[in-house]
Structure 1
Amino acid sequence: MEWYNNSRRGEYDILSTTLSSLDDTANETYLNPIRSASTTPTYVVFTTIAGITGVIITLALILIITSSMEVIRRSYFEVFWRIVRSQTTTDPPHNFSVCKDRPQDWGKIAECPIPQFAGGFPQTWMWVIGPMVLYLCERVLRFIRYMQTVRYRKIVMHPSKVLELQLVKAGFKMEVGQYVFLNCPAISQLEWHPFTMTSAPEEDFLSVHIRSVGDWTQKLISMVEELPEGAQGPKMGVDGPFGTASEDVFDYEVSMLVGAGIGVTPFASILKSIWYKFKDSNPKLRTRKIYFYWLCRETHAFEWFADLLQVLEKEMEERGMGDFLTYKLFLTGWDHSHAAHVMVHFDDDKDVITGLKQKTHYGRPNWDKEFEQIRKENPTSVVGTFLCGPQVLATTLEKKCIKYSDVDPRKTKFYFNKENF
């Protein structure tokens, strides 16, 4: 707008000044939308359709960019029209190369008739209609999913403020490691939050484990805690399922699963599915070895998942496949009193925290040692490394996968897959 305004005032060359003065006399069309030399760019911006819509689009772009930043998403989750005129055809045509330096001869010689301008043919709809149709179809599909009835099969409140919801929805099918969006109208009709499913495809329900983090989850847990025993929970909308990298876990002969805190949820689904496959003697199970790592800051976080590991541990031993699942639990937050308690029970057959035969490790894993051990035990395998955890851990594991992958394609290779939370 400043360029338009300055051209209108004659602050540039003679050509721009002459073009800006078109339509000051009869039988001419304008090129410069600013028709007065006494106006200001700010006035034009806020008093014309092109200007107002331009401001709105710019503000919308700023909002989109800022709200997509990680710090905003984590802390504040809730939070065109163009003037394009082209020259029309004249007879004889306007010879730009001859007339550009001779505006005083326009309309006086045959090579330089007065140039005529008109708005360009509207083409935006051709680019918008396709995506808009797809978007509307997607919204209709999500609305239909939202309206489908969802029943509560079981509501369990685990230690460490972890809520387990077992839901039943007609026609729902899933794969391991997938996630769904949940909506609770009693809290907010517009908010949809993603949660990884902890149930297996072989089960007739879907389950999610929800940790108390943020306003929405805290409100949901508070509502559930106030329910009378045996009552159904608040109305819940379920949209999904949606795919993740964890779906590919059974494509590898050897899989390395790493979960941090509540990031263990996709691996709960995977380990449950493995249990069902062994139970049914599924011949399509390609995976022959799984290494599972779980990192937690506090002891209570292990409690809700230890039951599943105990079942798997017993099942593998009964089938003579104790080496199929190797799991290591790491407690990253502990004090001296806890350490003393562990030392007293060090010789017990089972771990004092989880009740498992595999003892809990204290501190963080030595990833160099772990990768070296896996490579040694699987000298010719392709190892799929799957993480659900923070970005810092993802960076570390990705570097280790590169470091311990052999150049020789006949030897061990690590492929990294991640989903951050």
Structure 2
Amino acid sequence: MSSLEIETPVSVGGNNGKHGNGETEPFVPYETTSIDTPVLHFAVQPCVDFLNPFLRMFYKFRWAVSYPLGQRIFPKFVPACACIPVIGWIPYMTAGELLSLIPLVGVFVWGYITTFVNHDVSGSGTVASVPLVIAFLTASKSDSVFSFLLGVPFERMINWHLAWSLLSVCLGCFHYYVCYAFSSEDDEDRVRSLLLSSPSEDDVFASSNNMYSAMSDDAMHRDLSGDDSQYALYGPTPDFVKFSFDGGTNQSGTLLVLALIAIVSPALVPWIRRLFFELFYHSHVILALAIIVFGLMHGVGIMGLPLAFWVLDLVMRYVIMAYVRYPHKANIQLLPADVIQLSFPKPPEFEYNPGQFVQICIPALSFLQFHPFSLSSAPHQDMVTIHIRVLGNWTNRLKTLASKVEEVDMWMEGPYGSLSVDLDNAERYKMVLLLSGGIGITPMQSICNSLIHQHTQIGRPLKKLYFVWSVRDEDMVDALHDDEEGGTTIPGRHNLNKSVDRLGTTRFQPDLLERVNLVDSFRIPKTTAANKNNSKNSTDADDMVETVLKETNGTMDNFLHTEFYLTSKKAKDGMVPSPYIFMGRPNVPAIFAKMKKSALAQGESRVAVCVCGPSPLVSACREASRQQSGGGVTFDFHYETFEF
């Protein structure tokens, strides 16, 4: 079976964030935050030493402003109904999300008034263009203005992207209606009523000239069958279909609305976009281009703005990143439990933050398909690694390829993403809780290893790092029982004053938690482990841990605590229980309660929670964050899911 070589053991005993010369390298927050916006990060490189202090001040200010906006606005006694789409989200709504709804509602009201109150053909078209532009801007990746200004990357803008897209469809239909139902004579009546209230004769003359000039321009621009379409509702021969294609402007407007409906409809049904993702994605791109073209043909000149952002984004991603800057070769390895590892030496020009992801294209499989995968390595490590779980058609083809070759051509773009909790704020977050399910361990291990490195090597203050991993596949956990002498090697309780000099080789698992630097390996005789009953929750597990540690003369470290859960119905034959590997699902409320107790004992009021895994795990952790917040401790929550 293929294996994953782990790095050479390094002793960190007595270092405590110091270099060999005894000097401590200070932890510098926000030093690499600009990576979240690749266009900006690349642009500042020529003068990075000069600009970095200003960028750090900006990011510190941005987090200071956005932190209050990230707090939940509803009390925890408000019931949560996670199974109901939209309604289930309300109890977790933050102040920032509520504020973000204001422009949505405001633009809708504006569009309603221009359409159904003022019957303003031109005005309703102007309003309809606003959500269209915003929908495009929320889809930017490398040059996202929202990522830079608000710290919200494009993957967390998807719901807002959909909301603004829906609004653009709605207001586009409003505009369609007012054009069909009301003629320029209605505009004339409206303006004439305004003229009656004009204070002077000169004002009347000027206003009337402007009115008739605008009406004439509108008729010429719309290129209809007369001053107004004879097929409109007010015309002599009303015909909705003929009206829709009467003249160039009506044709482009009709095609624009149809393209909007076609691009938004599949996005409203999650199972469609997941089951037919490739068709959804490529049709999305084609329809987005069509919308820009039809918009420009229709006279929506502001569509040039999202077009410029899109072109810059494409050039940055597919030319500068994928073709020019980043490596084109990667080692590929097939690991147990249908996991594939891609790895390559980290070049200086490839920088990333913990928890980020990249998009990978393997030309041997397809030139057109870029797929997102989290980086499982930490930024300080020399090798960049990506672990991929075989789940669909593309990954199954990659698995076949991995069984035949050891190196593949690769195109890569990114990195993308950022955390919604300010982990760079070392004074606020000295307590960190990381939870993952299945392959969701990849971004969590990157964050965990980075925090360990910051704490042990560059002096970041950190009081508790609690790492929980639940997994269904026994093969992923089996590597934790890699012992030819009948015992079990258990990572979990750590002593920073000792180095590990016997680890050998391991397979895909939390190798993960810098085991070479931190982990004391306790060898548990089978007779000892067999007499213990595996606990189904972390509270009962503590008693077992204490007993085993006493029997093995182990020591407990207060900084890093790990727990691994095997959620399959029964253990594989011959599998030895351990105090760090439990059968069943993690008791999420108990874990949060324990973390809260630890925070209170150490005088900390904030806990950063990061979760990646299936929706049930994310929902459980979100609710636990809400319920356990209070009594002097607040859980600030960040999540990622496997589902698009």
Q: Figure out how many residues of one structure are paired with residues of the other and give that number.
A: 344
Correspondence for 2:341? 164
**Aligned partner of 1:404: which letter?**
Q
CA deviation string 1:180-225 (max 9, x = no partner): 1112233232222111101111123321101111112111221222
Pair 1:53-2:252 in alignment: yes
Pair 1:215-2:393 in alignment: yes
Correspondence for 2:261? 62
Cα offset for 1:154? 3.1
**SS in structure 2 at match of 1:326:** strand
* Superposed counterparts of 1:68-83, under 5 Å: 68-69=267-268, 70-79=270-279
Q: What is the CA–CA distance in structure 1 between the aligned matches of 2:422 and 2:250, rounded to whole Å?
A: 50
User: Per chain length, whose mean CA-contact separation is higher, i.e. which structure has more relative contact order (CA < 8 Å, sep 6+)?
Assistant: 2
Asked if the contact 2:346–2:382 (Cα under 8 Å) also holds between the matched residues in 1, the reply is no
TM-score normalised by the chain length of structure 1: 0.71
Pair 1:240-2:405 in alignment: no
**SS in structure 1 at match of 2:511:** helix
Cα offset for 1:2? 8.8
**SS in structure 2 at match of 1:43:** helix
* Superposed counterparts of 1:93-112, under 5 Å: none
In the superposition, relative to structure 1, how do residues 168 and 31 fare at CA in structure 2: closer, same or farther (>3 Å)? farther
Task: Please list every run of 5 or more consecutive structure 2 residues that lacks an aligned counterpart in the other structure.
Answer: 1-175, 190-218, 220-224, 280-290, 293-297, 480-506, 522-554
* Superposed counterparts of 1:150-299, under 5 Å: 150-152=327-329, 154-168=331-345, 170=347, 171-227=349-405, 231-233=406-408, 235-245=409-419, 248-249=422-423, 251=425, 252-277=429-454, 281-299=456-474
**Aligned partner of 1:76: which letter?**
F
Q: What is the CA–CA distance in structure 1 between the aligned matches of 2:420 and 2:633, rounded to whole Å?
A: 20
Asked if the contact 1:5–1:37 (Cα under 8 Å) also holds between the matched residues in 2, the reply is no
Asked if the contact 1:151–1:167 (Cα under 8 Å) also holds between the matched residues in 2, the reply is no
Asked if the contact 1:2–1:41 (Cα under 8 Å) also holds between the matched residues in 2, the reply is no
Q: What is the CA–CA distance in structure 2 between the aligned matches of 1:2 and 1:294, rounded to whole Å?
A: 54
**Aligned partner of 2:511: which letter?**
L
**Aligned partner of 1:241: which letter?**
P
Q: What is the CA–CA distance in structure 2 between the aligned matches of 1:247 and 1:157, rounded to whole Å?
A: 34
* Superposed counterparts of 1:132-151, under 5 Å: 132-142=307-317, 143-148=319-324, 150-151=327-328
Asked if the contact 2:472–2:566 (Cα under 8 Å) also holds between the matched residues in 1, the reply is yes
* Superposed counterparts of 1:237-386, under 5 Å: 237-245=411-419, 248-249=422-423, 251=425, 252-277=429-454, 281-302=456-477, 303=479, 304-306=507-509, 308=511, 312=515, 315-317=518-520, 322-335=557-570, 338=571, 341-342=574-575, 345-346=576-577, 351=578, 358-379=579-600, 380-381=603-604, 382-386=606-610
Asked if the contact 2:625–2:635 (Cα under 8 Å) also holds between the matched residues in 1, the reply is yes
Q: Which has the greater radius of gyration?
A: 1
**SS in structure 2 at match of 1:78:** helix
Asked if the contact 2:474–2:572 (Cα under 8 Å) also holds between the matched residues in 1, the reply is no
CA deviation string 1:358-377 (max 9, x = no partner): 43111112222222211112
Asked if the contact 1:199–1:207 (Cα under 8 Å) also holds between the matched residues in 2, the reply is yes
Q: What is the CA–CA distance in structure 2 between the aligned matches of 1:4 and 1:403, rounded to whole Å?
A: 52
Q: What is the CA–CA distance in structure 1 between the aligned matches of 2:380 and 2:388, rounded to whole Å?
A: 21
Q: What is the CA–CA distance in structure 2 between the aligned matches of 1:226 and 1:285, rounded to whole Å?
A: 44
In the superposition, relative to structure 1, how do residues 321 and 237 fare at CA in structure 2: closer, same or farther (>3 Å)? farther
Cα offset for 1:419? 1.3
Asked if the contact 2:463–2:558 (Cα under 8 Å) also holds between the matched residues in 1, the reply is no
Asked if the contact 1:298–1:334 (Cα under 8 Å) also holds between the matched residues in 2, the reply is no
Asked if the contact 1:289–1:325 (Cα under 8 Å) also holds between the matched residues in 2, the reply is yes
CA deviation string 1:38-60 (max 9, x = no partner): 57332343464334333432332
Asked if the contact 2:328–2:411 (Cα under 8 Å) also holds between the matched residues in 1, the reply is no
In the superposition, relative to structure 1, how do residues 7 and 265 fare at CA in structure 2: closer, same or farther (>3 Å)? closer
Q: What is the CA–CA distance in structure 1 between the aligned matches of 2:596 and 2:423, rounded to whole Å?
A: 18
Correspondence for 2:7? none
Q: What is the CA–CA distance in structure 2 between the aligned matches of 1:249 and 1:286, rounded to whole Å?
A: 12
Q: What is the CA–CA distance in structure 2 between the aligned matches of 1:7 and 1:246, rounded to whole Å?
A: 47
**SS in structure 2 at match of 1:295:** strand
Cα offset for 1:147? 0.8
Q: What is the CA–CA distance in structure 1 between the aligned matches of 2:433 and 2:305, rounded to whole Å?
A: 42
Asked if the contact 2:469–2:565 (Cα under 8 Å) also holds between the matched residues in 1, the reply is yes
Q: What is the CA–CA distance in structure 1 between the aligned matches of 2:615 and 2:238, rounded to whole Å?
A: 53
More helix by share: 2
Q: What is the CA–CA distance in structure 2 between the aligned matches of 1:137 and 1:295, rounded to whole Å?
A: 41
Task: Please list every run of 5 or more consecutive structure 1 residues that lacks an aligned counterpart in the other structure.
Answer: 16-22, 24-28, 82-121, 352-357
Q: What is the CA–CA distance in structure 1 between the aligned matches of 2:306 and 2:237, rounded to whole Å?
A: 43
User: Displaced runs of 4+ in structure 1, greater than 6 A?
Assistant: 1-8
**Aligned partner of 2:582: which letter?**
H
In the superposition, relative to structure 1, how do residues 175 and 63 fare at CA in structure 2: closer, same or farther (>3 Å)? same
* Superposed counterparts of 1:4-83, under 5 Å: 30-34=226-230, 37-38=236-237, 40-46=239-245, 48-69=247-268, 70-79=270-279
Q: What is the CA–CA distance in structure 1 between the aligned matches of 2:557 and 2:434, rounded to whole Å?
A: 17
In the superposition, relative to structure 1, how do residues 313 and 367 fare at CA in structure 2: closer, same or farther (>3 Å)? farther
Correspondence for 1:107? none
Q: What is the CA–CA distance in structure 2 between the aligned matches of 1:147 and 1:2, rounded to whole Å?
A: 47
In the superposition, relative to structure 1, how do residues 232 and 298 fare at CA in structure 2: closer, same or farther (>3 Å)? closer
More strand by share: 1
Q: What is the CA–CA distance in structure 2 between the aligned matches of 1:3 and 1:65, rounded to whole Å?
A: 22
Correspondence for 2:38? none
Cα offset for 1:244? 2.4
CA deviation string 1:40-88 (max 9, x = no partner): 332343464334333432332223223324222321111189xxxxxxx
Cα offset for 1:288? 2.1
Asked if the contact 1:330–1:362 (Cα under 8 Å) also holds between the matched residues in 2, the reply is yes
Query: Percent same amino acid among aligned pairs?
Result: 26
Pick from 375, 385, 406: which aligns with 2:630? 406
**Aligned partner of 1:190: which letter?**
L
Pair 1:131-2:344 in alignment: no
CA deviation string 1:273-301 (max 9, x = no partner): 345446xx424423221111111112112
CA RMSD of aligned residues (A): 3.6
